[in-house]
A and B are shown apart, each in its own frame.
Chain A
Amino acid sequence: MATKPSVNPTPSQIADLTMMTVKPRSLWVDAWYRLIRNKAAVAGMIVIIFFLFVAIFANQLAPHNPLQTNAGKSFLPPAWMEVGPNGRPSDPAFFFGTDNLGRDVLSRTIYGARVSIVVGFLPTIVIVLVGSVVGLLAGYKGGQFDNILMRFTDVIYAFPDLLFFIIVMVTLRETFIGKLLNGLFLLFMALAIVNWVGFARVVRGQVLSLKEKEFIEAARCIGASDARIMFRHLLPNSLGPIIILSALTIPGMIITEAILGYLGLGLTPSTNPNDIFITSWGALMLDGQAAINAQPWLILPPAICVSLMVLAFTFLGDGLRDALDPRLQGTQ
């Protein structure tokens, strides 16, 4: 194809000109633009950032010490009610009212955000790492290795989650591991053990379909090692489903923590004001449910916060799915 000098540009020159005026965009950048056009996903992101901010700056934001009891000020109604069901007047200093020991509900809810944020992210990071590596290996190596790994995941999958959490939390609570981070470390481990299985399966499925593609064959042809094929070619192309699944796993973690907290099996409520994790929304709901009819301000703030957070992550996850896999757009 010799390029002849001519007055009229050749089609390839026209193509060049149109291409030079457009900035190069990776698929990730394209996905980001699709994501920020999705209103629900943006709303979800804003809510998540808001809670992240609240969790990080809980010390500064909380109007009271969440552990400080106020004698004679128990069960105060929220600030917008003049008189509570027990006849006590509200106190503007306690916006969401107080609990049975006179502790500020707003401050406790603010501190509770920390546990939910951490419980949402930390185990997810662990399971993404473990699940992706296991899924990559199983999908790429195949054969007996795949068979053994997948049967092992079947066993974990078949075990009832909640029963597993209860057994682990009850039996290991009083041990050294059980006391790390007020019991949160144990909770993270239990959540990670149960949930990495789903990730491994998704990644494996993705790898199984990808490894038949010609670009993987091309990588083998140019002499790429197995590790290079797995981490440079297969993993980046499986990241879409991994990101989507992560965003959709986080609300499950938050709910599980709330359920376990509500059962009294989550975080051990702290009495040390220097602890990072003092209480969780699940524990607050447990406190509140005893008086749900007379003092609903106890259970409502943590319950609403859990719902908001879960909805936010779900919207973000849906938005990510549409953005990263445009073929699925519109399908629910």
Chain B
Amino acid sequence: MTSTEVLLQVRDLVKHFPIMRGTLIQRQVGAVRAVDGVSFDVFHGETLGLVGESGCGKSTTGRAILQLYRPTSGSVIFEGVDLVGLKGEDLRKMRRRMQMIFQDPYASLNPRMTVGQIIGEPLIIHGIADRKEAQERAEELLRLVGLNPAYTNRYPHEFSGGQRQRVGVARALALQPAFIVCDEPISALDVSVQAQVVNLLEDLQAQMGLTYLFIAHDLSMVRHISNRIAVMYLGVVVELADRHELYNHPLHPYTQALLSAVPIPDPVIEARRQRIILKGDVPSPINPPSGCRFRTRCPLADTICAEQRPEFREVAPGHWVACHMV
């Protein structure tokens, strides 16, 4: 299913949100370093899971890749084109190739538009279809995501959360993109519905050869859907590996702590499970620790960790980690 052909290349991606003070004349007094030097590749047809606790910059990374937030620096090379700095019509053309599925199905659909209008809008914007064709296409897409095609004249408030998320998926698929950023697409859903949506995403991937960047904080779900997994902490990727490799041989102390928190559905093993409890809180991204971001909470931290930022290096084939102690 997956190839080694690189679809998306993210290099040293940085997104800082400036903090402004002053009423009339504003000046920058600092920055939230939401994403601070992230690099990874996404291969054709794979699902790359992006995990981390809330506020670690995973959603910002997804949005910066799609240029919904303009990156502060770095490059995002998608199908050979650097998206950073791309403007106007050029950027609009690239948008046809990459889409996003949003977290909150209640906020991501315009409440004043019918489902048919929502799904058909991308086609009209890009001049692919006229109003009537867009309507027909919307019906096809509804069928594709497992909804009744007669629903095109319904409004979002008439649907349940899971159905709305399917509408969101249909909208993302309308332009037949190659790459979809799934920003916690199941976090807002009922557990029983989560599996349905994940299965739908997997089916669509198999049918249409899609590539996903799957952002989530549910580790077991990420393990289920992803081919490879990247772990983020405070704006940086600390570890990236094949899912089996990552779950069986986590190298970074943060990944180890994170995985030790996953409950095991077997009471005997669960009773023996050793949790690594991290001390303290996540430091503020406005003023992150020097050197290694994780050193303030790391059980292995040494003097070098405060002085040098660990290099993100390949320690085994396909297994990347940013830690001095590995």
Contact surface of A with B, Cβ cutoff 8 Å: 1, 12, 15-16, 19-20, 22, 24-28, 147, 151, 213-215, 217-225, 228, 233, 236-237
B 87-122 to A, binary, CB cutoff 8 A, 1 in contact else 0: 000001001100110111001111111100000011
Q: Which residues of the other chain, B, contact A236 by a CB distance below 8 angstroms?
A: 110, 112-113
Q: Which residues of the other chain, B, contact A19 by a CB distance below 8 angstroms?
A: 148, 151, 154, 158
Contact in complex: B104, A214 (CB < 8 Å): yes
Contact surface of B with A, Cβ cutoff 8 Å: 24, 63, 66, 68, 92, 95-96, 99-100, 102-104, 107-114, 121-122, 125-126, 146, 148, 150-151, 153-155, 157-158, 160, 163, 168, 171, 174-175, 196, 199-200, 203
- Shortest B135–chain A CB gap in Å is 14
Contact in complex: B109, A215 (CB < 8 Å): yes
Across the interface, name the chain A residue whose C-beta is closest to B94: A223
Can you report 22 A-B residue pairs in the complex whose CB atoms are below 8 A from each other? A1-B146, A19-B148, A20-B148, A22-B158, A24-B153, A25-B158, A26-B114, A27-B157, A147-B24, A213-B107, A214-B103, A215-B107, A215-B108, A217-B63, A218-B100, A218-B109, A219-B110, A221-B99, A222-B174, A222-B175, A223-B125, A224-B125
Known: A19-B158, A214-B108, A218-B102. A223 touches B96 (CB 8 A): yes
Contact in complex: A26, B100 (CB < 8 Å): no
> In the docked arrangement, what's the CA distance between A222 and B153, Å?
21
> In the docked arrangement, what's the CA distance between A22 and B171, Å?
24
> In the docked arrangement, what's the CA distance between A217 and B99, Å?
11
Q: Which residues of the other chain, A, contact B102 by a CB distance below 8 angstroms?
A: 214, 217-218
Contact in complex: A237, B99 (CB < 8 Å): no
Contact in complex: A27, B110 (CB < 8 Å): no
> In the docked arrangement, what's the CA distance between A27 and B153, Å?
13
- Shortest B66–chain A CB gap in Å is 6
Contact in complex: A20, B126 (CB < 8 Å): no
- Shortest B268–chain A CB gap in Å is 34
User: What number of residue pairs across chains A and B have CB atoms under 8 A from each other?
Assistant: 89
Of A12, A151, A220, A233, which one neighbours B110 at CB under 8 angstroms? A233
Q: Which residues of the other chain, A, contact B148 by a CB distance below 8 angstroms?
A: 16, 19-20
Contact in complex: A222, B154 (CB < 8 Å): no
Q: Which residues of the other chain, B, contact A147 by a CB distance below 8 angstroms?
A: 24
Q: Which residues of the other chain, A, contact B168 by a CB distance below 8 angstroms?
A: 218
Contact in complex: B171, A218 (CB < 8 Å): yes
16 extra interface residue pairs, beta carbon distance < 8 Å, beyond A19-B148, A24-B154: A24-B114, A24-B158, A25-B155, A26-B114, A27-B112, A27-B155, A28-B112, A215-B111, A218-B102, A221-B68, A221-B100, A222-B122, A222-B175, A224-B125, A236-B110, A237-B110
A20, A24, A237 — most chain B CB neighbours (10 Å) = A24
The binding surface of chain A is classed by DSSP as helix
Q: Which residues of the other chain, A, contact B113 by a CB distance below 8 angstroms?
A: 236
Contact in complex: A217, B199 (CB < 8 Å): no
Contact in complex: B121, A222 (CB < 8 Å): yes
> In the docked arrangement, what's the CA distance between A28 and B155, Å?
11
Contact in complex: B112, A220 (CB < 8 Å): no
Of A1, A151, A223, A233, which one neighbours B92 at CB under 8 angstroms? A223
Q: Which residues of the other chain, A, contact B24 by a CB distance below 8 angstroms?
A: 147, 151
- Shortest A222–chain B CB gap in Å is 4
Across the interface, name the chain B residue whose C-beta is closest to A3: B146
- Shortest B180–chain A CB gap in Å is 10
- Shortest B240–chain A CB gap in Å is 25
Contact in complex: A1, B200 (CB < 8 Å): yes
Contact in complex: B157, A1 (CB < 8 Å): no
> In the docked arrangement, what's the CA distance between A12 and B145, Å?
13
Instruction: Give 6 nearest A-B pairs by CB, closest first.
Output: A222-B122, A214-B108, A236-B112, A223-B95, A214-B107, A223-B92
Q: Which residues of the other chain, B, contact A28 by a CB distance below 8 angstroms?
A: 112
> In the docked arrangement, what's the CA distance between A225 and B125, Å?
8
Known: A214-B103, A215-B108, A222-B121. A1 touches B203 (CB 8 A): yes
Q: Which residues of the other chain, A, contact B95 by a CB distance below 8 angstroms?
A: 221-223
Across the interface, name the chain B residue whose C-beta is closest to A17: B148
